Chain A
């Protein structure tokens, strides 16, 4: 299961990464839009069609789960499978970062 999900999601799209990253805390779609805009200095703006589609897909693939609904807004949270995928992606990004600075990454 993880292998298949890994093949689909890693490397992640920018939208996918930020959504999953934000959902380490419980949030609804519009919360995520605002947070991503704030932490990226306005560089990344996720439109609602993209947000809805990505949340639905991630929920179907078991990366996030629905928690509750508040004032017609659906609140989601990352699952353990989602966390595993996010950790793989974070590790990949760290490697990219170190390599881009000319540093070697040592085998563990």
Chain B
């Protein structure tokens, strides 16, 4: 029987809660995460089925602070699993109390969402406004295109639709997550 498996599953920046849930379920079925390969591959190793909590952090981390940041998590009982495009992965045996989360107050949970919005959503929006939309205008202004021109136009339109969908999905979901967190605290 194989001891390792790889799963391909895509999560956007707004789906980190779903990603945590997915990793927890794998562990409870006897597969622990050993590696993440961007953008969407996960390697698992066979293990004892146990209830582990998986948590993702998106910190504003200077390289010089990284060691002390990881030490703090280690002291608090969190196992560091690695990083994937600025997301840091941790796990811990689930003891069903407040310490099963890496954030213990509303402010720090919503601060993380703000960092994701600022550092990931904003660049996406800028690429859309500055590269994709101007290119679309150019395509519509230029009537005389060869077959290659049509293919390129079609590709750009697909890319445009994909970008708009991604921005809307992530923007709305992060906003909803933030509202849920704020409502939980009342």
Q: Does B71 interact with chain A (Cβ within 8 Å)?
A: yes
Interface membership of B67, Cβ < 8 A: yes
Contact of A30 among B57, B72, B103, B105 (CB under 8 A): B72
Q: How far is the CB of A79 from chain B (nearest CB, A)?
A: 19
Q: Choose among A14, A47, A51 the residue with the greatest number of B CB atoms under 10 Å from its CB.
A: A47
Residues of A within 8 A of B55 (CB): 49
What 1/0 flags go to B97-115 for Cβ under 8 Å of A? Answer: 1110111110110011000
Q: How many residues on chain A are close to B (CB under 8 Å)? A: 23
Q: Say yes or no: B104 contacts A15, CB within 8 Å.
A: yes
| Residues 47-76 (chain A) with a chain B CB within 8 angstroms | 47-54, 56, 69, 71-74
| Stretch from B73-81, B129-137, B157-165, B174-182 forming part of the interface with A | B73-81
Which residues from chain A sit less than 8 Å from chain B, CB to CB? 13-15, 28-30, 33, 45-54, 56, 69, 71-74
Q: List 15 A-B contacts (CB under 8 A).
A: A13-B107, A29-B72, A30-B75, A33-B75, A45-B104, A47-B99, A50-B105, A51-B72, A52-B59, A56-B65, A72-B70, A72-B71, A73-B68, A73-B75, A74-B68
